[in-house]
Structure 1
Amino acid sequence: MRLRPRDLADEVISGVVQRPGRSLLTAVGTALALAAFVAVLGLTATTQGQVSARFTELSATEVVLERSAVDPDEPAAFPRDAQDRVAALPGVRAVGVSWPVPIGQSKVGVRPEEVDGEALSVLAASPGYFQSVHARVGQGVAFDAFHDGRAEDVAVVGRAAATRLGLTRLDAQPAIFVQGRAFTVIGVVDAVDRRQDTLLSVLVPAATATKHWGPSPASGGITSMLVDTELGAAQQVGRQAKAAARPESPEKTKVIVPPDPRALRDAVSTDLNGLFLGLAGVSLVVGGVGIANTSLVAVLERVPEIGLRRALGARRRHIAGQFLLESATLGLLGGLVGTAVGVVTVLLVSIARELTPILEPQVVYPAPVLGVITGLLAGLYPAWRATRIEPAEALRR
């Protein structure tokens, strides 16, 4: 017996249409799996672009130079001319130097007595520190080159430190005391983009700290130079800043530069794509199991029909081809619907979150084909079971 392609197509269409409810539910299962596949990969690519932009704006524009207390005879770890040289490098927006003031177990308070004070850290900072950490001053002003040049006893406190000290207003020029020394509070920092510990610290001008506690690194801590760079300039600035800051002893300066944004983004993308591809694969397996179950039930229900066709001359390959094509058809329908649903989901989420949707062609175009492959694989066992049905036994039912 010879089975023409048109006859096979008629049998497949008849098998799908005769049980519309079951066929629809099977196709819906595959559609949901493919929709999850397309939506997950599309949303992953879309959010990666947003994460990459945010990462680049903050982390990828920060270079840190550190110098520890290795030579007490040095006047300062990063003197003023070192800061000026680094600030003159191409791509540098701001330079700030800071180091912890060695106050030991002393407390900071609003009265000379340390008993009533708060255990806050005191940082010596250059005027450029506020620009480097992107500080927003809520009350008063930050100290500038005038205060630093005159080594004035002024201080700027973070919002959390001000709350602990009970400082609510600055119009009365309140003073705080560090080791019995009075400092006039001239500003309160409400927020920073970097160095969040600033909000729980008391900052005094670097020259003032040098006058009272000695220069850095003689103070015993690690002096840090924070460099805020233009987008994409961090790697180049990091290579040049070490020699520019202290050309006579660059080996004593440690430079911390952000990782290459492209390399980090590629690594993150690879990890996320692997994870979400695994999740999408599980969805496809679930859809394939649904098709296999439906096809197997159809085989069991159509045993008399299969026996009659075998008795009339249909061969095993004809029976197998019919059930395989039925499974592939259901997979194709589910793939087309699922791809459309996935694309619409990515577009709607991107619009709601004000993102730029990213849909890779290598994900969208093969999705319906993936549905067909899933249907074929799911139909292998039911088709094999159908070919094992003997005509005589089937006709006796």
Structure 2
Amino acid sequence: MKLDPRTWRFRRNDSSKPSKPSKLSKLSKRSKASNTDKAASAAPTISRSDLIRESLEGVGARPSRLLITLAGTVLGIASLVATIGFAQTAGGQIAQQFDALSATRVTVEPGKAKAAGGKERATARLPWDAVDRVAGLAGVEHAALYAKLDSVKNVTTVQVNDPSAASKAAPPVVAASPELLETVAGHIGAGRFFDAGHDERGDRVVVLGKNAAERLGVNRVTGQPAIFIEERAYTVIGILDKVGTRNTLLDSVIVPVNTARGELALSTVNSLDIRIAVGAGEVVARQAPIALDPNAPDAYKVSAPSSANALREGVEADVNVLFLAIGIVALIGGGIGIASVTLMSVTERRGEIGLRRALGARTRDIAGQFMIESVTTGVLGGLMGVVVGLFALIGVCLVQQWTPVLAPWAAPLGVAVGALVGLAAGSYPALKAARIEPVDALRDA
């Protein structure tokens, strides 16, 4: 018998006919299900602030290990920052000390083509009056003809016919016009350079480069010393001790062009050297071939100076390749170090990870904690690397007495690269930590 609450009467309990659930019971069940869902959704999780705080505590828990981990990243970022600074500083320094003589030199040579035998042959000849033809061009200050006399091998101080004597390599003989001294910004240490009169008359006079004079044993020009070229006597009238360009002249014996034409079978000149005003390189390089031969200006090859900007960019590119290679290697080492230490930390903290998972921490909470730790390590390495790189740059500039130059974006770039290295290095350890099962971790602990 059962008391019916609606009628307050007892009625027979018929087990064969199941009773229908009342509205009250339906509401009760629905309320329980709702409470269960709320309880499930209210499972304990870690907040962002707590996650960041505990990650930072984890980073600073072992200072000695942290310093070892940072070493690779610091070295890599320092190399990166120093690379940018050294390249920009070196480029600026070279631009400031740009060689004025090299910047004011234009060389015109006959064009060359390969002959049937594979050897190169000249496709044009420089006229003997080439100096006069280019002298009137705007920007031209001096010009001189220059030719190598490769066929001349016999150069001595005293003519000796001794077959048993040991042969010595003779200094090279070159021919030049009288304007060569001003064109190459040379300096005569003793005597004088030959002039237009010597050249027009075809006088047998020579000027020795200082190294050639030492080899020939000529140390002064008083008394008119003589040397023998192909068994003909030539009077030494000067010793060249310094040049701005064409350093090979210091090793050479220099004779006037017309003397070489009459005495040494000179048939053509190798080049026309032109000294120009600063900034006139492009104009002279374009106009000189036309002045030499208006009908075939393309028959000549012109070498003009590079601009300071081009030189700076070239230096920066060369230095960047070297130092960036060093920086990349160091960054790879730093990333491997961060990954190794983070993996070690995951292994050591399996018990902690299992306990957090058992208390309701989600996999992304665990992964996020280790990711924050590795990124923080990378950022610290980036900051320290920027400081080390700046000190290295300043130290080198102080020693060399240079003005340090560094782009303003170099420091933020170093920190950003450090963070990226930490992010990449911590990805795998973070995923591994997130996949640890709570039961296994607690059992191992």
Does the alignment pair 1:128 with 2:179? yes
**Structure with larger Rg:** 2
Give the counterpart of 2:358 among 311, 315, 322. Answer: 311
Equivalent pair of 2:72/2:330 in contact (CA under 8 Å) = no
Which amino acid is the alignment partner of residue 22 of structure 1? R
Give the counterpart of 1:388 among 412, 416, 435. Answer: 435
Task: Tell me the distance in 2 between the aligned counterparts of 1:291 and 1:223.
Answer: 62
**Pairs within 5 Å for 1:243-392:** 243-247=290-294, 250-251=296-297, 254-258=300-304, 260-261=306-307, 262-263=309-310, 266=313, 269-270=316-317, 272-392=319-439
| Matched residue count | 387
Equivalent pair of 2:154/2:229 in contact (CA under 8 Å) = yes
Equivalent pair of 1:157/1:203 in contact (CA under 8 Å) = yes
Task: Tell me the distance in 2 between the aligned counterparts of 1:351 and 1:106.
Answer: 51
Q: Where in structure 2 are there 5+ consecutive unaligned residues?
A: 1-43, 112-120
Give CA deviations for 1:326-382 in whole Å, capped at 9, x if unaligned: 111111111111111111211221221122322122322221121111111111111
Secondary structure of residue in 1 paired with 2:109: strand
Secondary structure of residue in 1 paired with 2:253: strand
**Pairs within 5 Å for 1:26-41:** 26-41=69-84
Give the counterpart of 1:205 among 256, 277, 284. Answer: 256
Q: Normalised by the size of structure 2, how large is the TM-score?
A: 0.78
Aligned-pair CA distance for 1:213: 4.7
Task: Tell me the distance in 1 between the aligned counterparts of 2:411 and 2:61.
Answer: 31
Aligned-pair CA distance for 1:315: 1.1
Bigger drift between 234-243 and 272-281 goes to 272-281
Task: Tell me the distance in 1 between the aligned counterparts of 2:186 and 2:208.
Answer: 11
Task: Tell me the distance in 1 between the aligned counterparts of 2:64 and 2:182.
Answer: 66
Task: Tell me the distance in 1 between the aligned counterparts of 2:53 and 2:229.
Answer: 92
Which amino acid is the alignment partner of residue 46 of structure 1? T
Aligned-pair CA distance for 1:56: 5.6
Does the alignment pair 1:44 with 2:87? yes
Aligned-pair CA distance for 1:263: 5.0
Equivalent residue number for residue 192 of structure 1: 243
Task: Tell me the distance in 2 between the aligned counterparts of 1:260 and 1:366.
Answer: 31
Equivalent pair of 1:83/1:245 in contact (CA under 8 Å) = no
For the aligned residue pairs, the C-alpha RMSD in angstroms reads: 3.0
Equivalent residue number for residue 23 of structure 2: none
Task: Tell me the distance in 2 between the aligned counterparts of 1:133 and 1:162.
Answer: 19
**Pairs within 5 Å for 1:87-236:** 87-101=135-149, 104=151, 107-112=154-159, 119-213=170-264, 219-236=266-283
Identity across aligned pairs (percent)? 41
Which amino acid is the alignment partner of residue 87 of structure 1? A
Equivalent pair of 1:101/1:124 in contact (CA under 8 Å) = yes
Secondary structure of residue in 1 paired with 2:361: coil
Task: Tell me the distance in 1 between the aligned counterparts of 2:208 and 2:348.
Answer: 80
Which amino acid is the alignment partner of residue 77 of structure 1? P
Task: Tell me the distance in 2 between the aligned counterparts of 1:91 and 1:71.
Answer: 27
Aligned-pair CA distance for 1:250: 4.3
Aligned-pair CA distance for 1:246: 4.3
Bigger drift between 11-20 and 22-31 goes to 22-31
Q: Where in structure 1 are there 5+ consecutive unaligned residues?
A: none
Change (3 A) 1:165 1:224: same
**Pairs within 5 Å for 1:36-75:** 36-51=79-94, 57-67=100-110
Q: Normalised by the size of structure 1, how large is the TM-score?
A: 0.86
Give CA deviations for 1:45-88 in whole Å, capped at 9, x if unaligned: 2223344566664544332223599999x9x8222xx4134233
Change (3 A) 1:101 1:47: same
Aligned-pair CA distance for 1:394: 1.7
